[in-house]
Structure 1
């Protein structure tokens, strides 16, 4: 573990915040509450070292204050109401301007190359110390800031790590915020030049808010966290634009369907899923799952704006057996993912919510616990990751932090070269070793 020295901790509040009668209260939907027990997702960007004259901390904090004035829900806190009359609890977000955690740290023994070219291609464990809210769960947003940052100076670079409460925002909303923050820092733009935040104003008719959840469900202790970090490995696999075109053409060529086209991400996901299962020594009768986290904004009726702030994602889960996967080719597996994604309609979204409200269940999401029969594909290669220039250059790498890391977690990023896609992959060490030596797999992917 690298020596990370915390230089300062502070709270950054929205610029010119005035607490008043117009304070916004955001009620939470079933899809928000689904993440009540999940850890904050964490991501980080690696930057070149700025000029010594650049006052990066003061610049980052002042521009963050302006960005939080626009994206004010991040500066609020979660509120819990206990309803003794029916033994339930409710939650909402109070946009009270409490502010966000900002940590300034130093790791003078770590260089950029230690991150970009780690030993054996394995994501180095010391990166855990570069993130600000390790182990923090969404329900802790009662006292924890709903988004947090850590800026760590390296020998020859800077790493900006961040984590956010998934009940408040999804990846789309987070990257919209981050893109705005970096633009403000780069250009000095005043917040008046940016459009006002579009809040998710969608809720099911006939459902009272805030939603009431039985004490018994909330108070159910989570399963013990089994630290399998020594048994898990993370590597990043790169698919070039050429690799992607080949896999997409192969998948679509095998199914030869006129009414369905397997997308690039579906083809890559199918390829990764098949390759992982092939190297997992599972029985042919074993039931396996591939869960795709997908944005529902444009699928709702009426559709929400693409820029709508909030958490509007759901899991699309394809379920098959190992035998079916082995028997059929890449195209068939890609088609199962395609059909699963296509099934997530406005009606499906609403039915889930209506049923959930009748019997709320807060899932105990796996946390560093091996789940060998599932893969989860999160994030998106379409997010604007590499356009975030704060004034001393664009990012040179993106990495995921330890939040919500489980066996089978695949986190998709855009590659630094246009058209490429990179997948940060977490697997048990023995499966990762076999995958990393799979000649057929390495024809289409390479270790970063």
Structure 2
């Protein structure tokens, strides 16, 4: 059994941070759109941003104030979701008494080990991300924890309910908060970071909201999503695998030799293709004939008319990829996986909403099949979240332990690269690492 690291954390203080009062009158609720309903039953998204050399004694009062000011604009993050057992009127409720829980803790764990790329015990990360406890029929949607590591740095842990914000909305909030903290109360920030909150821009000509509400109701109690959850599995590890621009170029050349259609494959498809093929091998489930891969696509520019890029909420479509297992475990497995993913990406140019009425059922189906999925995106620019302490040393998406996803970010030191985070049982991690090293050696 993995050693417990919980004793290395000491909680110091907890505050309720309310949005700084503004002149605007807040709406009492924001209705959940069909995009939000897709993620209604998902595990909250938990991220950790590690920063070196931040002095929290002087920074903490500023952190609290800058968070309060950022929440003036992103006040729905201080609100709560209705916990309607019938799932008939899901909405985000807002009031003048709303707040976000901010916890400060001290850890005696090793900052530099935790913020490395090598395989680390997943249990060490659990105490660093805050919970979202529900009370009296209301579900808080956002919480923050700042953990201090003596003489090393801090980790800012956030937990956000996925039915409230996608990665784009979350990252815009974090960039705004960090900009306010770094530059002062009235920074010369891009208005693109300020949220567009009008839900009426999400048109629903196909009646997807009604369809999704019915599906959520009929799937109540369905255990499929739990198939991804590794909680309780012994020796789960978290590790990061970097794809430099040079490696991605070599992967493209190799894939093009095997599959002509892969010549135009995006870096996203190339990285995901190699990871998918490697995980299929590492898991070694030879009884499966088909393997499945799922990802989301940003729909803000794909709707008619387009939804503003700073729209706050979810605006993602579901994409499914299927391949023969025999192809993925063959000598050209990475090329076959890349080709299958790229074909689906290309099909989005025609219609990103084809089959959208099945999206909720698709998610449950893919979870039951333990499909590999994707969380995050290198396009989000999460390493640009700078509180004045420099760029993060490392960003980890801790919740992939619960959601069966690989985590994508941009690389830290080089433009055009991709980092992939994986949470796997130790034996699968060892198998994947061997595949990854050999694949790069043979490029």
Q: Does 1:131 align with 2:129?
A: yes
1:204: which partner in 2?
204
Q: Does 1:62 align with 2:57?
A: no
SS in 2 for 1:89: coil
SS in 1 for 2:89: strand
Check the 8 A contact 2:274/2:335 in 1, yes or no. Answer: no
For structure 2, the residue ranges without an aligned partner over 5 or more in a row are: none
Change (3 A) 1:364 1:142: farther
SS in 2 for 1:38: coil
Check the 8 A contact 1:19/1:96 in 2, yes or no. Answer: no
Change (3 A) 1:41 1:142: farther
Q: Deviations over 1:395-419 (max 9, x none)?
A: 1111122x35248521011221123
* Count of residue correspondences: 425
Matches within 5 A, 1:41-440: 41-51=45-55, 55-80=58-83, 89-97=88-96, 98-107=98-107, 109-117=108-116, 121-133=119-131, 143-155=138-150, 156-190=152-186, 195=191, 196-199=194-197, 200=199, 201-205=201-205, 207=207, 212-213=213-214, 217=218, 219-220=220-221, 222=223, 227-257=231-261, 261-283=264-286, 286-326=289-329, 328-344=332-348, 347-349=351-353, 351-353=355-357, 374-401=371-398, 403-406=399-402, 408-419=404-415, 420-438=417-435, 439-440=437-438
Give the Cα–Cα distance (whole angstroms) in 1 for the partners of residues 324 and 366 of structure 2: 21
Give the Cα–Cα distance (whole angstroms) in 1 for the partners of residues 400 and 434 of structure 2: 27
SS in 1 for 2:90: strand
For structure 1, the residue ranges without an aligned partner over 5 or more in a row are: none
SS in 2 for 1:393: coil
Check the 8 A contact 2:176/2:189 in 1, yes or no. Answer: no
Give the Cα–Cα distance (whole angstroms) in 2 for the partners of residues 123 and 444 of structure 1: 29
Give the Cα–Cα distance (whole angstroms) in 1 for the partners of residues 362 and 218 of structure 2: 7
Check the 8 A contact 1:407/1:427 in 2, yes or no. Answer: no
* Residues 405-414 or 392-401, more deviating: 405-414
1:9: which partner in 2?
14
SS in 2 for 1:181: helix
Give the Cα–Cα distance (whole angstroms) in 1 for the partners of residues 410 and 247 of structure 2: 14
SS in 2 for 1:405: helix
Check the 8 A contact 2:82/2:90 in 1, yes or no. Answer: yes
Q: CA RMSD of the aligned region, Å?
A: 3.4
TM-score (norm 1): 0.83
Change (3 A) 1:244 1:151: same
Check the 8 A contact 2:215/2:361 in 1, yes or no. Answer: no
Give the Cα–Cα distance (whole angstroms) in 2 for the partners of residues 329 and 318 of structure 1: 15
Check the 8 A contact 2:82/2:92 in 1, yes or no. Answer: yes
Check the 8 A contact 2:37/2:163 in 1, yes or no. Answer: yes
Check the 8 A contact 1:289/1:320 in 2, yes or no. Answer: yes
Q: Aligned-pair distance for 1:441?
A: 3.0
Q: Deviations over 1:185-216 (max 9, x none)?
A: 00004279663521352130374978754895
Check the 8 A contact 1:388/1:395 in 2, yes or no. Answer: yes
Q: Aligned-pair distance for 1:80?
A: 4.8
Check the 8 A contact 2:146/2:156 in 1, yes or no. Answer: yes
SS in 1 for 2:306: coil
Higher helix share: 2
Q: Deviations over 1:6-27 (max 9, x none)?
A: 111122111115795x515322
Check the 8 A contact 2:34/2:208 in 1, yes or no. Answer: no
* Residues 88-97 or 1-10, more deviating: 88-97
Change (3 A) 1:179 1:269: same
Check the 8 A contact 2:69/2:185 in 1, yes or no. Answer: no
Check the 8 A contact 1:301/1:346 in 2, yes or no. Answer: no
SS in 2 for 1:437: helix
Check the 8 A contact 1:4/1:106 in 2, yes or no. Answer: yes
Give the Cα–Cα distance (whole angstroms) in 2 for the partners of residues 46 and 248 of structure 1: 32
Check the 8 A contact 1:80/1:90 in 2, yes or no. Answer: no
Change (3 A) 1:366 1:315: closer
Check the 8 A contact 1:15/1:69 in 2, yes or no. Answer: yes
Give the Cα–Cα distance (whole angstroms) in 1 for the partners of residues 215 and 277 of structure 2: 40
